[in-house]
Structures are given as C-alpha cells and as structure tokens.
Structure 1
Amino acid sequence: MTHIGYHASHEQYDPRTLRDLAIRAEAAGFAAIKCSDHLQPWSERQGHSGHAWAWLGAAMAGTTVPFGNIAAPGYRYHPAVMAQAAATLAQMFPGRFWLAIGTGEALNEGVTGAAWPDKPERNARLRECFDVMHALLRGRTVTHRGRVTVVEARLWSLPDTPPPLFGAAATPETARFLGGWAEGLLTLGGDPVQVARVIDAFREGGGAGKPVHIQHAISWADTQDQAMANALDQWAPVAIGGEINWDIRRPSDFDLLGQFVGPDRIGRAVRVSADPGLHRADLAALADLGADTIFVHNVGRNQEAFIDMAGRDLLG
C-alpha cells in the first residue's frame, strides 16, 4: 500500500507557520511528513529557511505520523553531528524518523567557504559519510580519515532501532550508484516514465526490495490561471534543471534564471492543474511504480486550502 505524505517546505514558510501546517496536514489525513534541510531558499520571493533539525523536534512532538528529512552531510554538517541529530530524533520518537542523504547544493553547502567539488567527487564523499553515519547509529566507535575525518567518535544516546538512511537521487546514474548501499531511495516525482527509470536503476544497482519514497511537486489552486501563477512565482527557478541547480550559490541568481521559465517549461518540474482528479490520477500512476510513500509538495502559498482539498479529494 502506498501512503500519501505532505512535504513541508522550509523555503516558503517561517518555522512556526510550517509547524502548524504539519499539524493541519496530519489532521486532514496525510500519513507522513517530510522536509528539506536548506540554509537558503531557492528564490528571494520564497523568503524563508528555518533550521530543519530544530523544527523537526517541535513538529514531531505535535503530531503522530512518521517524518523524514533530506540533508547533505560532509559540508555544513559533519557526518558525526548529523548522525547525532538523527539518533536523537529516532530515540525521542521511536519508529517515526528516517533520513535521506544527498550530495547537496552550493546554495546551502558552499557557505563554509570550502571548494565545491564536481558530482563524482560529491558522490564519493556521500558514500564515506554514509559509512560513518551508519556505523555511529549502530553504536560503534568510528575513526575514519578520507574525504571526511572522524576521530574516536561515538554516539551515546541511541534509539532501539537505527533510523533508516535513504539515498537521494534525481537521475538514473545516481540512483544506480546508491542501490548497493543506501537503505532506501528518495527521488523526485513528475512523469511516471522518467520516475520509473530512476527507480529501476536503483533496483538494478542493488536496491531491489528496499523502500522508495517520491517527492512530487504540484501546483493546485481553485483556477488553472491561479495554479500557473503560483507555480511560476514560487518554483520557476527550480525548473531550470540540470547541474546548474547544484552549482549556483545565491537565491538572487536563481531568480534571474527563473525569468526564463514560462508556462511551457514549468510543467517539466511541477504538475500544474486546478483539477483534483488529475492530481489523484498522477498519484495513482506513481504508486503503481511501487512507491512506499509519495510526498506531495504544493508549491503555491495556498497551503491551508490545498491541505483541505487534499483531505477531501486526494487522501480518501
């Protein structure tokens, strides 16, 4: 059975409002919640970016559903520090927390001033971070010297069961790389044919039988014109696609690129429709790929109306 979850967008709402939206989403019938871990938003118009780990403790205390987070170890966060945060949440809320780790974006991770590496190097660093975190979450004392350095690290407050460490992938190549070692896959939604290629690559690379989560971006509103306006206002910069999203450092530069995204291109990143039936059909098609949970991200600012609509038309 595929569960439908709610994506809580730190980039678009202040932490207090986002906590209240998470509570509202559970009340409406969403079965899970996830968030992203950013230092900066994708656009200056989005205007927020709270600390995900601090928020998770408050949001999980006010709800009962499982939560997930996607973050990039090895840059802003040392992997031992991230493992400690994950262990703390998993110990406080048994069976309710999972973490997806990815290679990150310069927008968030470049703030330390370290050189921003190319994708193959980021992949290699991610694998090292996974190995360190996986061992720490099982109570081992870790010393590791490589792309990241860890000396005599140990976590002292551990959950009874370690939280699963998923890998995040947007392409078949990355998904295949993750398959043999990540404990699950988090990927993006959209065209089921394209999503299937990513999931198949993960399974072919060693991920067969492991759970798959999908983050699916939509723009719903009462009218088609308003749904399109919301998508272009809030999510146009992200629709640029390609490697450029991972290499730009400033929200203002994303806004400049977003000017080149119109109604014909936004659909590559966001399903824009005022028809709940169309969104319901999209979710069913993604569920048919074997997804365990699909997290719906409505990119507009009409979150309360979206959550209420979802409770009526998407979650039954």
Structure 2
Amino acid sequence: MTIVGFHASHEQLSPARLLDAVKRAEQAGFGAAMCSDHLAPWSVRQGHSGYAWSWLGAALEATRFSLGVVTAPGQRYHPAVAAQKIATLAEMYPGRFWAALGSGEAINEHVTGDDWPAKDVRDARLVETVDVMRRLLAGEEVSTDGLVRVDRARVWSRPAVPAPLLAAAVSAETAHEAAGWSDGVITVDQSPETLRSFIDAYRGAGGRGPIAVQVHLSWARTDDEALAIAHDQWRQSLVPAHLSWELERPEDFDARTADATPDEVAGTLVVSSDPSRHLDHLTRIAELGVDRIYLHHVGTEQAEFIDVFGDRVVPDLEAVTA
C-alpha cells in the first residue's frame, strides 16, 4: 500500500503554524510527513524559513508517525554535524526518522561565503559526504582530506538502528548513481513517462529502498482561488531545475518569474477545487509502483486542505494501492 504523507513547507509557514499543521495531518489520517530544510524561502512573498532540525524534534515528539527531511550536507552543514543531528533524532525516535540527502542549492549554501561549486563537483562532494556520514553513524572515528575535510570526528550518541539515508534526486541519471549508496530515493512529481524512467533507473541499478514522490498541488474551494494561490506562492516552479540550483536569493527567483501568468504556473502542478481530480492524478503516480507520496498544498492556509484531503483523498488513494 502506498503511504500518503503530508509535506511541511518551512518556506511558507512559521514553525509554530507548521507544527500545528503536521499534528492536524496525523489526526486527519495522513500516514507520514516530511519537511524541507531551507535557510531562505523561494520567494519574498512566502516569507518564512524556520530551522528544520529544531522543528523536527518538536514534530516527532508531538506525533507518532514517521517524519523525514530533505537536506544538503557538505557546505552549510559539515557532515560530522549532519551525522550527529541525524543520529540524535534516530536515537530518540527509533524507526520514525529518515533524511534524504542532495547536493543542494545556492540559495541556502552561499551564506557560508565559500564558492558555490559546479554541479559535477557538488555531486562528487555529496558522495564523499555520504561516505563520511555512514562511517560516523557506524561508530568510526573519521578523518578525511578531500572535497570534504574531517579531523578525527566521532558521533558518540547513536541509535541501535541507523536512520535511513535516502537520495534526493530529479533525473534518472542521478537516481541510477544514487542506487549504490542510498536506502531509498525521493523525487518530485514529473510526467508519468519521466517518473517511469526514474524508477527504472533506480531499480535497474540495484536500488531496493522505497521510492517516494513529493507532489505540489493547489486546492481551494473554487478553481479561481486555487489558481490565485498557485500564482502567488509557487511561481518559482517555472524556473528550470538547473537554474534553480544557482540563484542565490528569493529576490532572484521573484525577478525571474515576475511576468509569469497564472496559466503558466498552473502548467507545473495540478490546480483544482475538485479533490477527485487530485485523486486521479495521485492514483496514476501510485500505480507506477511508488511507495510513498507526500502531498504539498502550496497555499499558506493548511487546515481546510488537510481536513478535506484526509477525508476525500487519502483513504481512497490508500485503498487503490492496498
């Protein structure tokens, strides 16, 4: 059965409101949750970006389902620090926490003052980072002097069972490369053909962990309202992935999408007041063999979305894939 989870967007709600939302999602029948890990929002209009790791401790304590985070160790987070905080949450909440690791975006990483590397260097750095983190999580003392530098690091408080380390990936090529080191993979909603290629690449390279898809959507009581929400809050979806990794400030994304029309934004996600239309779209994703689907309503008002989808989408989607 496909697990249907709730995505908590730190870029759009304050940490306190986001904590209320994730608790409500569990009560409404969502089977899991995940969150973003940003230093800055995608847009000035979004206006938030709480620290994911403080929030995760509170969210895990306030709920009983599994929670994960998409994060980018290697520059803003030293891998020894990343391994320590992952180990701490996994020790406190056994079997409930996972982290998906990616190569990151300049909007979050440039603040260190270090140069933002080219994509091939970032990918190589991620492989080194994962190796360091896995060794630390296994109890080793680690020193390295490559793209990642570590001096006699050790994680002292560790869980009996390490938290799964998934790969955050968009392309089939990255999914293929990640199969060798990841405990699963998470991607974003794409065309059925692209998702199928992604899944085949991961499985074909030996990846045996769960496959998760994060789905951005816009729902409201009317189609016009849903469209207005998407246009206001999620127009950065029009920025191509390769460019979104390089822009450094929310203002840069706003400038790139200043002339975007509502219809253009609607071409990047499902925008509808009809829960059945969303269900149809999600069902097609689940039928590809996806293990987890995390729903992200791109609006800032989450309560009604959670209640409606908890009643009319989540149970039907789970039933389809049971």
Partner of 1:58: 58
2:236 corresponding residue in structure 1 = 237
Give the conservation status (yes or no) of the 8 Å contact 1:5–1:33. Answer: yes
2-structure distance, mates of 1:153, 1:269: 43
Partner-residue secondary structure (3-state), 1:243: helix
Q: Deviations over 1:239-298 (max 9, x none)?
A: 222311000001011111122332343234321111100111111111112211100000
Contact 2:34–2:67 (CA under 8 A) maintained in structure 1: yes
Asked if 2 retains the 8 angstrom alpha-carbon contact of 1:181 and 1:206, the reply is no
**For structure 2, which runs of at least 5 residues remain unmatched after alignment?**
316-322
Task: Please identify, of 38-47 and 180-189, the stretch whose mean Cα deviation from structure 2 is larger.
Answer: 180-189
Alpha-carbon distance in 1 for matches of 2:245, 2:21: 28
Distance (Å, rounded) in 2 between the aligned partners of 1:94 and 1:182: 19
Contact 1:240-1:261 within 8 A present in 2 as well: no
Aligned-partner residue type, residue 136 of structure 1:
L
Confirm or deny: 8 A CA contact 1:88 1:159 kept in the other structure.
yes
Q: What is the TM-score when the length of structure 2 is the normalising length? A: 0.95
What pairs with 1:288-303 in structure 2 (closer than 5 Å)? Answer: 288-303=287-302
1:101-250 to structure 2, matched below 5 A, reads 101-207=101-207, 209-250=208-249
TM-score computed with the length of structure 1 as normaliser: 0.97
Give the ranges of 4+ consecutive aligned residues of structure 1 lying more than 4 Å apart after TM superposition: none
Partner AA of 1:74 in structure 2 = G
1:273 counterpart letter in structure 2? S
Secondary structure at the aligned position of 1:108 is classed as helix
Distance 1:268 1:103, change over 3 A: farther
- Distance in structure 2 (CA, Å) of the matches to 1:217 and 1:239: 13
Gaps of 5+ in 1: none
Which residue of the partner structure matches residue 266 of structure 2? Answer: 267
Cα distance in structure 1, aligned partners of 2:242 and 2:166: 21
Q: In 1, distance between residues paired with 2:259 and 2:206?
A: 39
**Take 2:197 and 2:228, find their aligned partners in 1: how far apart are those partners?**
30
Letter in 2 for 1:270: L
CA distance in 1, matches of 2:26, 2:48: 23
* Cα displacement (A) at 1:145: 1.5
Bigger mean CA offset, 188-197 vs 218-227: 188-197
**2:95 counterpart residue number:** 95
Identity %: 49
One-letter amino acid of the structure 2 residue matched with residue 302 of structure 1: E
Taking the aligned partners of 1:67 and 1:178, their CA distance within structure 2 comes to 21
Equivalence for 1:278: 277
Local SS of the residue matching 2:245: helix
Residue identity matched to 2:138: R
Deviation at 1:170, TM superposition (A): 1.0
Q: Give the Å deviation of 1:312.
A: 1.2
Find the counterpart in structure 2 of residue 40 from structure 1. 40
**2:250 match:** 251
8 Å Cα contact 2:180/2:205 also seen in 1: yes
The residue type equivalent to 2:298 in the other structure is: V
In 2, the alpha carbon distance for the partners of 1:82 and 1:269 equals 32
Mapped partners of 1:242, 1:33: distance in 2: 24
Per-residue CA deviations over 1:77-101 (Å, capped at 9, x if unaligned) read 0011001000000000000000000
